[in-house]
Amino acid sequence: MRGKAVGIVAPVNLEKVVFGFFVVLAATLNFGFFLGDLTDARVHNVYELYAAVIVNIIAVVLKFGDRTQIGALHLATSLVAAIQLIAATVVWIWAEEGSTGLTPEHMSSVVSLSGGALLANIVSIMLLVTETAAYQRR
């Protein structure tokens, strides 16, 4: 135990914890919505889609002001996911309010858009893991 203090815990960067929480929560909510038959609206919960939109928007807001290269990539992936999920929500609302109702074609568009957002969320998680693995204690 030479050179190391016993019982001292390295301080946790609360900002990174909060951002990591929202990135992972965004991905899991999106994944939960995405799973299921592409055209069956009964297996895709609209409230889960709304929650995914809100959490992704929070992730975007949390990345504003980070001037690092990895921060810019996090912001870009969060923006992509948020835009895809907002588009999916708009399609769902437009289809339900339209005269034809929510058809399997509309639902496949909604789920496909959420799939694109899921891919962006996965890239964001990969960036988060890479950034964490590359972190060197000073």
Q: Is the pLDDT of residue 6 over 60?
A: no
Residue 28, token pair as written in the block = 């899991």
Per-chain mean pLDDT for the chain: 89
The whole-angstrom separation of Cα 71 and Cα 15 is: 13
| 107 vs 69: which has the higher pLDDT | 107
Q: Does the model's pTM come out above 0.75? A: yes
Q: Is the pLDDT of residue 3 over 60?
A: no
Q: 128: which residues sit within 8 A by CB, 6+ positions away?
A: 19, 20, 23, 24, 74
Please check whether residue 80 is in contact with residue 117, taking contact to mean a CB–CB distance below 8 angstroms: yes
What are the residue ranges spanned by the domains of the chain?
14-133
Q: Residue 88, CB half-sphere, CA atoms under 13 Å: how many?
A: 33
Q: What is the mean pLDDT of the segment spanning 12-25?
A: 89
pLDDT in tens, 29-88: 999 999 999 999 999 999 999 999 999 999 999 988 788 888 899 999 999 999 999 999
